[in-house]
Amino acid sequence: MNILIAYYSKTGSTEMVAIELQQHLLKKGSKVRLARIFPTKELKAYQYKKNGKSLKLKQPLLDVKFFDLVVIGTPVWNFCPTPIILSYLRSMRNVKGKRFALFATCTALPGTTIQRMGNILTTNGATVLNSLTIRSIFALDEPKLAKVGLFAEALHKLLS
């Protein structure tokens, strides 16, 4: 399987989950590419337009036609995906017919994060296979990261 894990991480928690997921998928024999999404200008969270429209990204990998699965990860800001990820989802090409998985990291409630991401993708003809939300007030610990391994296992079974 050729898998893309695209994510935005401000504090490192989402990146930690992305790397952990990559490691588990590599052990299953998949080819995995990590792509961290960056805005052209880093702002404070409250300074971004909530919907992410007109937000410019630094050289994101937008064309997903060569991937069997695309995994998108985001931290939760105000019960929603970050504007950076919303902009990325709207900018992607060759989404129709592709399979996706979604994950979010948060300190409290995830709100509509996964649902909003899924809505953008399914509106463009994609299929969302699975999702994961990792809640952690403090640093990510072993039990939280164990959930990532179970998520990777579930994705592997869905793709087999």
What domains are defined for the chain?
2-159 (3.40.50.360)
- What pLDDT score was predicted for residue 40? 81
Distance (Å, rounded) from C-alpha 17 to C-alpha 55? Answer: 25
Q: Determine phi and psi for 20, rounding to 5 degrees.
A: -60, -45
- What pLDDT score was predicted for residue 24? 95
- What pLDDT score was predicted for residue 138? 66
SS3 116: helix
- All residue ranges of the chain with pLDDT < 50 are none
Q: In 10 A of CB 112, how many CB atoms?
A: 14
- What pLDDT score was predicted for residue 50? 63
DSSP count for the chain of H helices, then E strands: 4, 6
